[in-house]
């Protein structure tokens, strides 16, 4: 992986700094609680949520178990529809491919719609080095980019900024990259959105090259799907002459019909809406409508290494809804930046160490950045058992063992006594030393108690044999209160 986050301190240090930052903590708390409650209501509207969730999980498992088959099928369908498919084994390869494609158009700027895959590979930096300016067009990404900042939440990357800070960033920085913010800009969200609209519109209208990711790719038809809210995605996907989409290989689904599951699961889990404002679907190129040239770059970059781990591979089911972030008591306290990766929160804690390996202190400490309360598993629309993978990865850090790195099987040495283990144990202690963080998860934890045996069976056993797991009370105070009072109602 590219070194976007090189020099990142291990989780506990970064988390401690974040906890000291009062604004950050206040923003995060407000944000996570707001989305969390809304999501619960949106999910409760569908009486078949559990069946949809099971189907979403099963479709992803079906895909992953035969990923080669589906990728080849996808390639054939995209090519038949007029697109060109490229394959990139790692970040450097993907960056080289995209840079060459942009260079071939003769353009020196591109408009981008939010894509975690391109953040993961550090595409903007690679383009910059080649003399190409990449403009982020999501409101939140724009805030992050103008503020020379890093995103802290999958869905709301600027969640750590409040309106006053956003106003200041816009007023100070917009003029440097194009149309300046209007005089006397207030911190009213409507005003801020208007400023962004004006600033970005001139970029959209003149853009010749667009860069995107995709939420889903349909193997059967070659269709790509982008789910969004603001309309910047539609702009980037429709107006440029050349479109380049960089998509992780795990984003493929077998059939058109499979979308009926994910288009119900994703909006409700992520923005808590029945449906997000805009979803674009396109298949190759269309005559006279949209880009003349379409390139799909299929990205591995650690995904096949993750796939090789029979316990860890379930992380590849993730549809990046961010529901697990919003319920995570550790994320709420520590903030997204502490995870040192584009993938924060519970999903980041299991995905980053698998994509990048546990060689660095921050990656080795990530599996410990959790109280194992199980809330993330409960809300996950594709039922990823995040606690199970966390325990599995902890064991890997402590015990060592067989893993796949860049396609090669290697044996990791146990991290005992290493800086990595020390970082990991500090993270564990940090997590356990924050009863406030734990309390928030307690209610859910009690309900998912089966996930918290004192000694873990199977692969987790070695880890739990040597490390005391946090004790989870049989019934939290809140549950008891609700049960005893609830009976009276």
Which residues contact ligand SF4 by CB under 6 A? 269, 318-324, 347, 379-382, 384
Closest by Cα among 268, 260, 261, 259 to 43: 268
Write down the least CB distance from residue 283 to ligand SF4, Å: 25
Q: Is 211 in the site for another protein (CB under 8 A)?
A: no
Determine how β-strand 252-253 pairs with β-strand 216-218: parallel
In 176-306, which ranges are E strands? 209-212, 216-218, 223-228, 242-248, 252-253, 278-283, 293-299
Q: Is 271 in the site for another protein (CB under 8 A)?
A: yes
> Which residue in this structure is represented by tokens 């990656």?
363
Question: Of the ranges 133-141, 362-370, 377-385, 481-489, which one interacts with another protein (CB under 8 A)?
Answer: 133-141
| 173 CB burial (10 A radius; 0-12, 13-18, 19+) | middle
Q: Is 107 in the site for another protein (CB under 8 A)?
A: no
Write down the least CB distance from residue 274 to ligand SF4, Å: 18
Write down the least CB distance from residue 374 to another protein, Å: 24
Question: Of the ranges 69-77, 173-181, 349-357, 425-433, which one interacts with another protein (CB under 8 A)?
Answer: 69-77
Question: Of the ranges 4-12, 23-31, 361-369, 390-398, which one interacts with another protein (CB under 8 A)?
Answer: 23-31
Q: Is 410 in the site for another protein (CB under 8 A)?
A: no
Write down the least CB distance from residue 343 to ligand SF4, Å: 8
b/e 260-298 (16+ beta carbons within 10 angstroms → b) = ebbbbbbbbbbbbeeebeebbbbbbbeeeebbebbbbbb
Question: Among 119, 215, 279, 371, which residue sits at the site for another protein (rule: CB under 8 A)?
Answer: 279
Q: Which is nearer to ligand SF4, 192 or 382 (CB)?
A: 382
Q: What are residue 236's phi and psi, to 5 degrees?
A: -70, -30
How many residues bind another protein (CB under 8 A)? The answer is 102
Q: Is 2 in the site for another protein (CB under 8 A)?
A: no
Q: Is 205 in the site for another protein (CB under 8 A)?
A: yes
Q: Which is nearer to ligand SF4, 322 or 476 (CB)?
A: 322
Write down the least CB distance from residue 359 to another protein, Å: 19
Instruction: Restricting to residues 313-342, name those near another protein by CB under 8 A.
Output: 313
Closest by Cα among 442, 416, 438 to 429: 438
Question: Among 128, 260, 433, 465, which residue sits at the site for another protein (rule: CB under 8 A)?
Answer: 260
Tokens at 172, concatenated = 């100070």
Given CA atoms 390, 393, 399, 402 in this order, what sign does their dihedral have?
positive
413 binds, among another protein, ligand SF4, none (CB under 5 to 8 A by kind): none
Instruction: Give me the long-range contacts of 255-264 (CB less than 8 A, separation at least 24).
Output: 255/218, 255/219, 255/220, 256/218, 256/220, 256/221, 256/223, 258/59, 258/218, 259/216, 259/218, 259/225, 261/52, 261/55, 261/56, 261/59, 262/56, 262/59, 262/215, 262/216, 262/319, 263/227, 264/46, 264/52
Q: Which is nearer to another protein, 435 or 458 (CB)?
A: 458
Question: Among 10, 91, 192, 451, which residue sits at the site for another protein (rule: CB under 8 A)?
Answer: 192
Instruction: Restricting to residues 71-90, name those near another protein by CB under 8 A.
Output: 71-72, 81, 86-89
Q: What are residue 283's phi and psi, to 5 degrees?
A: -125, 105
* Interface pattern 280-319 for another protein (x via CB under 8 A): xxxx--x-xxx-------x-x---xx-xx-x--x------
Q: Which is nearer to another protein, 27 or 370 (CB)?
A: 27
Closest by Cα among 384, 340, 381, 344 to 363: 340
User: Which helix H or strand E contains 204, and what residues bound it?
Assistant: helix 189-206
CA angle 204, 123, 243 (to 5 degrees): 40
260 binds, among another protein, ligand SF4, none (CB under 5 to 8 A by kind): another protein
- How far apart CA 53 and CA 277 sit, in angstroms, is 22
Question: Of the ranges 279-287, 366-374, 439-447, 455-463, which one interacts with another protein (CB under 8 A)?
Answer: 279-287
323 binds, among ligand SF4, another protein, none (CB under 5 to 8 A by kind): ligand SF4
Write down the least CB distance from residue 201 to another protein, Å: 7
Q: Which is nearer to another protein, 138 or 361 (CB)?
A: 138
Q: Which is nearer to ligand SF4, 211 or 380 (CB)?
A: 380
15 binds, among ligand SF4, another protein, none (CB under 5 to 8 A by kind): none
Question: Among 29, 41, 69, 478, which residue sits at the site for another protein (rule: CB under 8 A)?
Answer: 69
- How far apart CA 217 and CA 252 sit, in angstroms, is 5
- How far apart CA 88 and CA 96 sit, in angstroms, is 9
| Neighbour count for residue 117 (Cβ, 10 Å) | 23
Question: Among 3, 29, 48, 449, which residue sits at the site for another protein (rule: CB under 8 A)?
Answer: 48
């Amino acid at each position: 992986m590219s070194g976007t986050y090189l020099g990142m301190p291990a989780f506990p240090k970064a988390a401690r700094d974040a906890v000291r930052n009062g604004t950050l903590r206040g923003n995060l708390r407000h944000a996570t609680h707001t989305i969390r409650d809304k999501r619960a209501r949106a999910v409760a509207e569908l009486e078949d949520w559990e069946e949809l969730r099971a189907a979403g999980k099963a479709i992803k498992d079906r895909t992953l178990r035969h990923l080669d088959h589906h990728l080849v099928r996808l390639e054939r369908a995209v090519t038949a529809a007029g697109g060109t498919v490229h394959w990139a084994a790692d970040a450097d390869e993907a960056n080289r491919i995209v840079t060459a494609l942009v260079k071939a158009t003769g353009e020196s700027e591109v408009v981008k719609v939010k894509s975690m895959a391109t953040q993961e590979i550090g595409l903007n930096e690679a383009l910059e080095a080649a003399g190409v300016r990449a403009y982020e067009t999501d409101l939140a990404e724009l805030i992050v980019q103008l503020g020379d900042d890093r995103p802290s939440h999958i869905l709301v990357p600027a969640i750590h900024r409040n309106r006053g800070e956003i106003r200041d960033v816009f007023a100070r920085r917009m003029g440097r990259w194009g149309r300046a913010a209007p005089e006397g800009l207030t911190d009213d969200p409507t005003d801020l959105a208007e400023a962004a609209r004006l600033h970005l519109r001139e970029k959209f209208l003149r853009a010749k090259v667009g860069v995107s990711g995709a939420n889903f790719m349909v193997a059967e038809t070659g269709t790509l799907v982008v789910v969004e809210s603001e309309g910047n995605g539609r702009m980037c996907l429709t107006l440029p002459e050349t479109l380049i989409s960089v998509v992780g290989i795990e984003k493929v689904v077998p059939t058109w019909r499979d979308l009926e599951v994910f288009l119900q699961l994703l909006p409700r889990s992520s923005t808590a809406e029945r449906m997000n404002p805009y979803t674009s679907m396109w298949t190759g190129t269309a005559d006279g409508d949209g880009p003349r040239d379409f390139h799909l770059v299929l990205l591995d970059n650690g995904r096949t290494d993750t796939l090789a781990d029979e316990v860890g591979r379930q992380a590849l089911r993730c549809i990046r809804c961010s529901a697990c972030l919003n319920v995570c008591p550790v994320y709420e306290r520590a903030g997204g930046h502490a995870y040192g990766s584009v993938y924060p929160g519970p999903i980041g804690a299991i995905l980053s160490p698998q994509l990048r390996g546990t060689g660095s202190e921050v990656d080795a400490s990530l599996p410990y950045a959790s109280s194992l309360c199980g809330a993330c598993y409960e809300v996950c629309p594709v039922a990823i058992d995040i606690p199970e993978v966390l325990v599995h990865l902890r064991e890997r850090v402590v015990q060592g063992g067989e893993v796949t790195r860049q396609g090669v099987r290697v044996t990791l040495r146990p991290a005992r006594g290493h800086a990595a283990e020390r970082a990991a144990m500090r993270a564990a202690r940090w997590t356990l030393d924050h009863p406030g963080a734990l309390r928030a998860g307690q209610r859910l934890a009690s309900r998912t108690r089966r996930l918290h045996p004192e000694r873990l069976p199977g692969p987790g056993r070695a880890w739990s044999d040597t490390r005391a797991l946090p004790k989870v009370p049989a019934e939290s105070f809140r549950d008891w209160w609700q049960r005893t009072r609830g009976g009276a109602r």
